[in-house]
Chains A and B, each alone.
Chain A
Amino acid sequence: MSADLSPVLIVGATSDIGLALAHEYAKRGAALILAARQPDRLEADLLDLQNRYGVSARSIALDLLDADSRARFLDALPVVPGTVISVAGLLGEQERSESDAALAEAVMTTNYVAPALILSALANRMLGRGSGTIIGVSSVAGDRGRASNYLYGSAKAGFSAFLSGLRARLRARGIHVLTVKPGFVDTRMTSGMKLPAVLTASPTQVAQEIVRAHLGRRSVIYTLGRWRWIMLPIRLLPEPLFMRLKF
């Protein structure tokens, strides 16, 4: 992996996909900065990454829901990362967040507001240097609002739109922006759900697809590519029809 992609900063590193990404990048020799609310909980993983791949790996505190923490995090970053990935996500319980404003706000902040603010700030620093890669992990749930999870979906939709705008802005200035739309992934977030095996990826599979898309300078990928074809009619269906589908 070429040096200007390193270090790789992962926001949301304690998530299953975040940790799988850490392994995929470390395997290719990249140094790692893992941001998490409780960085101590990453200690065993940092040692593991160092022992396995001989790369440098450190953690840094970041509570996405806390504006002060976000500011401190940005100040404390030792370098402008070569690559920054936001894997931050909070599913929440749709039904509860319909009446619980605090939970609704947490879902919106975690999935859209905080990652967008952080990636904006880092994009500006990368511009100063003229190189870098920004990767946002959004969701197929952002492709269309659904009764069953539109709060999460709308925040992801905002994040997807943010990423495509950022990509348009930075395209000519040497900075690559990749939008990732995973379908079902077998993680803690989905544990207990009954997911169809053929449509469910492992965190490692998703991480490998992301690194491949990064190195291939793709713009938007669906992980487990078949999700692209599942989402196509769902995106295109006229609203009156879509609403009548109990989907």
Chain B
Amino acid sequence: MMLSGWGNYPRVDCAVLRPRDTEQVTDAIGARPTLIARGAGRSYGDAALNRAATVVVTRLNRIASFDPSSGVVTCEAGTTLDELIEVFLPRGWFPWVTPGTRFVTVGGAIASDVHGKNHHLDGTFGRHVISIDLALADGSVVRCSDNENPDLFAATQGGMGLTGVILRATFRLRPVETDLVVQHTTRTQDLSQTLQALEDASEATYSVAWVDCLARGPALGRGVVYRGEHATLGDLPPDRGGRPYGTASIRSRTVPVSPPSFALNRYSMGALNAVYYRRAKTGRALVSYQTFFYPLDALLRWNRIYGRQGFVQHQCVLPLASCAEALRELLTMIAARGTGSFLAVLKLCGEEARGPLSFPFRGYTLALDFQATAGNFSLLTELDDVVAAHGGRLYLAKDARGGAGLLRDGYPRLDEFSRTRDRYDPRRRFRSVQSERLGL
């Protein structure tokens, strides 16, 4: 079956299995020479693809227990954040960490150790995980936590499915009083203002900047900066009649077919970016959690707007020391090429997580989308060089094309990861198209 990640690039013919219980997972491990787990397929590139066996775990989605006093939940790895929100938000609980789409699975969130707009305060998804049940290469199932198999626990967070198949996880949810978010929006004129605004927002629970990456010259790096806090009962608008969780589910619209790719050129992209920049309403607003956390989810399958050849995302994190300079270089190169991104997202990251392959570290992360064309690929290689020169790293959950060198330079704890794999999967049965490409 032809499969791809969210970017529709690359597309690979994979044998697909859809287990419903632990036994079927361990059977698959016993029967296939190599395999990789796959959740909702929301990683962009080739991390969740394996020709011999791609084990889709979305049917493992049962909620095993919930403690309403602590917000600790245990569920199977295929449960999506969307399901968790549907079940637990009306009871006053929200995921501690959520990426920009709620259609990811718990297993995928752990394997990528995803971050949200609150990384600077709350770290990655893994920080809130208490234990993981993992199916290993020898077909056994083990629990790992800070006390049991701690090496495996760490390596699995951000381990891109290469340590085993996550079956179940126990983790904490965050108590919230309402399903609304108090959002503050500011507009900035250039890169230094954008960075300053993010720095100033570092006490806010959530912050993120959208950058107009086609603006050049003195406007380079201008953007819109959003801050957010979960609204309290006191913030409830009067029309809610005191109901804290009243948002009717927002209808999603689907992009029906891939539009012709010429719709995306430097003129249309430039226009879109400029419109977005001007349209942003500054000041305070009370918005739904969907609007604040998941603006893109309102347009299901928006990935189709990049056309049939698909697209890739380039997300790097850059150390604080040289990030202003590095960002300036990156944005200058992109603006000069003009085939750049519809989306450019900039966030401040906090401390590095325990996973040796976990992505974020203290600094700024920039994420950009590019159509998968030869011209863009050569630009991306140049961007990689800038990232490497400044001691940055690329995010594996978004990667579809990076080279092995970038992995080695960017992830100094790679050896620690390999040692753990030597112990639990010496024959490297868990592998993906990505791990083969990167020599992982």
Contacts and interface: CB of A to CB of B under 8 A. Distances in A.
Interface of A: 44-45, 47-48, 51-52
Given A47-B62, A47-B64, A47-B65, 17 more contacts: A44-B21, A44-B62, A44-B64, A44-B76, A45-B62, A47-B63, A48-B61, A48-B62, A48-B63, A48-B64, A51-B63, A51-B64, A51-B65, A51-B66, A51-B87, A52-B63, A52-B87
Contacts of B65: 47, 51
Nearest to B59: A16
B330 to A, nearest CB: 43
Residue from B21, B63, B66 having most chain A Cβ neighbours under 10 A: B63
Nearest to A14: B20
What 3 pairs across the A-B complex have the smallest Cβ distances? Answer: A48-B62, A51-B63, A44-B62
19 contacts: A44-B21, A44-B62, A44-B64, A44-B76, A45-B62, A47-B62, A47-B63, A47-B65, A48-B61, A48-B62, A48-B63, A48-B64, A51-B63, A51-B64, A51-B65, A51-B66, A51-B87, A52-B63, A52-B87
A52 B65 CA distance: 10
B395 to A, nearest CB: 32
A45 B87 CA distance: 15
B62 to A, nearest CB: 4
Residue from A45, A47, A52 having most chain B Cβ neighbours under 10 A: A52
Contacts, number: 20
Contacts of B62: 44-45, 47-48
Contacts of B63: 47-48, 51-52
Contacts of B66: 51
Contacts of A51: 63-66, 87
Contacts of B87: 51-52
A246 B235 CA distance: 68
A22 to B, nearest CB: 12
Interface in B103-162: none
A51 B64 CA distance: 7
Interface in B264-307: none
Contacts of B61: 48
Contacts of A52: 63, 87
Contacts of A47: 62-65
A44 B133 CA distance: 15
A241 to B, nearest CB: 39
A45 B21 CA distance: 11
Nearest to B76: A44
B133 to A, nearest CB: 13
Interface string B63-105: 1111000000000100000000001000000000000000000
B431 to A, nearest CB: 26
Nearest to A27: B86
Nearest to B61: A48
Nearest to B87: A52
A51 B74 CA distance: 10
Contacts of B64: 44, 47-48, 51
Residue from B21, B76, B87 having most chain A Cβ neighbours under 10 A: B87
A132 B87 CA distance: 29
Contacts of A45: 62
Nearest to A53: B87
Nearest to B20: A188
A44 B63 CA distance: 8
A19 to B, nearest CB: 10
A47 B75 CA distance: 10
B374 to A, nearest CB: 34
Nearest to B66: A51
Interface in B41-70: 61-66
A52 B87 CA distance: 6
A99 B63 CA distance: 45
A46 to B, nearest CB: 9
A158 B347 CA distance: 65
Nearest to A47: B64
Contacts of B21: 44
